[in-house]
Amino acid sequence: MIDPFGRKVSYLRVSVTDRCDLRCVYCMAEDMHFLPKADILSLEELERLCGAFVRSGVRKLRLTGGEPLVRRNIMSLITNLGRLVKSGELDELTLTTNATQLAKHADGLAAAGVKRLNVSLDSLDPAKFEAITRWGKLDQVLDGIMAAKAAGLAVKINTVALKGGNEDEHEHLVEWCGRHGFDLTFIETMPMGDIHSDRTEQYLPLSLVRSRLEQRFTLSEIDYRTGGPARYVRVAETGGRIGFITPMTHNFCETCNRVRVTCTGTLYMCLGQEDAADLRTPLRASEGDQLLEAAIAEAISRKPKGHDFIIDRDSRPAVSRHMSVTGG
């Protein structure tokens, strides 16, 4: 799949649910209203949709949410998709999770062919973690992370940089990740969805985060890539890697190789644009996939050059949908 700007689209992120067992302050409002179950694709439909993308050229597949591991019977979908990795049709199957359910699923994920995970973790302080997630328990998350490590899964920690929220912990996170052999990626908060507060109060540019880290650590540019938008450095003192995802201060649109599908079967060609394609209708229109594959091809033909994210005090969210709806 080649978009209008010559970029090869080979990476698909699929949200399997909009539901989550946490309410992170930068992601959701506290009183979220979730989609009716009738609007959500079945696990069988999600598997069929993913198969159509793989036949169209997708080589990397990431399951997201919401929190994907709260979806009932999700391991059956993961196991079936893992067979595409084992057959060579797919290079990689990965997952983004908050790790609350990971302790009971880590071994199953490894057995299914998942090699690595992204875990959202914004604080190592129990009280601060509970405040950011609104009710999360840090011990439960850390137990899940360590279960993943014990199962042989590579873990990358994703941390949203929050002004006044966790900026005093960044050095500690670098040291902790280095000690456990986890990569760490810092992410700028993005203007997606109404969270009932002013995002300018949360926004912390990663240029500032990096300059502060460089006062304590020696950071060297490296060519390491995972297929996503992060730009990585090596930390001399720990031997670990730090990635920086900077949609606000330095967008990564020129190398974008990915699209996102929601749990309702809506394809977004860009995280920061509203243009979308309905894949649920062609998916359900016939038992064959010809209509579905044609709809995918048409959508890729209008993938935009980039997003229009800005954060300022007078701006509405760049897009109305929450990240949990689109898939992280």
- Annotated binding-site members for [4Fe-4S] cluster: 20, 24, 27, 253, 256, 270
Whether the CA torsion 296, 302, 305, 311 is positive or negative: it is negative
Q: What is the dihedral of CA 248, 250, 11, 64, to 10 degrees?
A: -30
- Annotated binding-site members for S-adenosyl-L-methionine: 26, 66, 120, 190
- Annotated binding-site members: 13, 20, 24, 26-27, 62, 66, 96, 120, 156, 190, 253, 256, 258-260, 270
Count Cβ atoms below 10 Å from residue 33 Cβ, excluding itself: 7
Q: Regarding beta strands 183-188 and 219-221, do their DSSP bridges make them parallel or antiparallel, or are they unpaired?
A: unpaired
CB 296 within 8 A of CB 56: yes
- Annotated binding-site members for GTP: 13, 62, 96, 156, 258-260
